[in-house]
Amino acid sequence: MMFVAAWFFQLRDSLRARFEALERTAAGRERLDAERLDAGKPGLFVLTPWRREEGGGGEMALLREGRLFEKAAVHVSHVYGPVPEALTNGGGGAAWENLPDDALFEAAGISVILHPRNPHVPAAHMNTRHIRIRTGDGGEIRAFFGGGADLTPMLKRYRDENHEDVKTFHAALKEACDTHPAVDYEAFRDWCARYFHLPHRGEARGMGGIFYDMWQSGDFDADFAFTKRVGESFGRVYETIAKRRIGTRWSEAEKREQRKWRGRYAEFNLLYDRGTRFGLRTGGNVEAILSSLPPDALWR
Amino acid sequence: MMFVAAWFFQLRDSLRARFEALERTAAGRERLDAERLDAGKPGLFVLTPWRREEGGGGEMALLREGRLFEKAAVHVSHVYGPVPEALTNGGGGAAWENLPDDALFEAAGISVILHPRNPHVPAAHMNTRHIRIRTGDGGEIRAFFGGGADLTPMLKRYRDENHEDVKTFHAALKEACDTHPAVDYEAFRDWCARYFHLPHRGEARGMGGIFYDMWQSGDFDADFAFTKRVGESFGRVYETIAKRRIGTRWSEAEKREQRKWRGRYAEFNLLYDRGTRFGLRTGGNVEAILSSLPPDALWR
List the CATH number of the domain containing A52: 3.40.1500.10
Residue B81 placed within a domain: yes
Whole-number pLDDT of residue A29: 55
Answer yes or no: is pLDDT of A34 > 60. Answer: no
- Cα–Cα separations (whole angstroms), residue B120 to A158, A278, B145: 39, 35, 33
Evaluate whether B292 touches B71 at the Cβ level (below 8 Å).
no
* Partner-chain residue, chosen from B200, B295, B299, that has the shortest CB–CB distance to A293: B299
Residue A278 placed within a domain: yes
User: What digits encode the pLDDT tens for the residues B111-165?
Assistant: 999 999 999 999 999 999 999 999 988 899 999 999 999 999 999 999 999 999 9
Residue B95 placed within a domain: yes
Nearest CA of chain A to the CA of B272: how many Å? Answer: 9
Residues of A in contact with B267 (CB under 8 A): 270, 290
Whole-number pLDDT of residue B89: 77
Evaluate whether A227 touches A130 at the Cβ level (below 8 Å).
yes
Q: Which residues pair with B126 in a beta bridge?
A: B112, B149
Residue B76 placed within a domain: yes
Residue A300 placed within a domain: no
Q: What percent of chain A has pLDDT over 90?
A: 75
Nearest CA of chain A to the CA of B73: how many Å? Answer: 11
Q: Which residues of B are catalytic?
A: 125
Whole-number pLDDT of residue B247: 86
pLDDT category of residue A286 using cuts at 50, 70 and 90: confident
Answer yes or no: is pLDDT of A38 > 70. Answer: no
For chain B, how are helix, strand and coil distributed in percent, rounded to 5?
Answer: 40, 25, 30
- Do residue A299 and residue B294 have CB atoms under 8 angstroms apart? yes
Whole-number pLDDT of residue B88: 82
Q: Name the nearest CA neighbour of A53 among A76, A81, A86.
A: A81
Tell me the C-alpha distance between A214 and A133, whole Å: 12
Answer yes or no: is pLDDT of A224 > 90. Answer: yes
The strand pair at A56-64 and A69-82 is best described as: antiparallel
Residues of A in contact with B271 (CB under 8 A): 270-271, 277, 280
Choose, from A78, A120, A125, A170, the residue flagged as catalytic: A125
Evaluate whether A168 touches A180 at the Cβ level (below 8 Å).
no
Residue B297 placed within a domain: no
More confident residue, A88 or A67: A67
Host domain of residue B244: 2-30+38-290
Q: Name the nearest CA neighbour of A216 among A124, A296, A145.
A: A145
Evaluate whether B59 touches B6 at the Cβ level (below 8 Å).
no
Whole-number pLDDT of residue B183: 97
Residue B296 placed within a domain: no
Residues of A in contact with B201 (CB under 8 A): 286
Nearest CA of chain B to the CA of A178: how many Å? Answer: 37
- Cα–Cα separations (whole angstroms), residue A180 to A110, A119, A228, B192: 20, 34, 11, 54
Tell me the C-alpha distance between B26 and A47, whole Å: 46
Q: Give the residues of chain B that fall short of pLDDT 70.
A: 28-39, 282-283
Residue A299 placed within a domain: no
Specify the number of domains making up chain A. Answer: 1
More confident residue, B242 or A287: B242
Backbone torsions φ then ψ of A219, nearest 5 degrees: -115, 95
Whole-number pLDDT of residue B188: 98
For chain A, how are helix, strand and coil distributed in percent, rounded to 5?
Answer: 40, 25, 30
Evaluate whether B13 touches B110 at the Cβ level (below 8 Å).
no
Q: What is the pTM of this model?
A: 0.90
pLDDT category of residue A35 using cuts at 50, 70 and 90: very low
Whole-number pLDDT of residue B2: 81
Evaluate whether B75 touches B59 at the Cβ level (below 8 Å).
yes
Residues of B in contact with A71 (CB under 8 A): 299-300
- Cα–Cα separations (whole angstroms), residue A95 to A33, A191, A215: 49, 17, 10
Judge whether A125 counts as a catalytic residue.
Answer: yes
Torsion of CA B117, B118, B121, B125, to 10 degrees: 10
Whole-number pLDDT of residue B40: 75
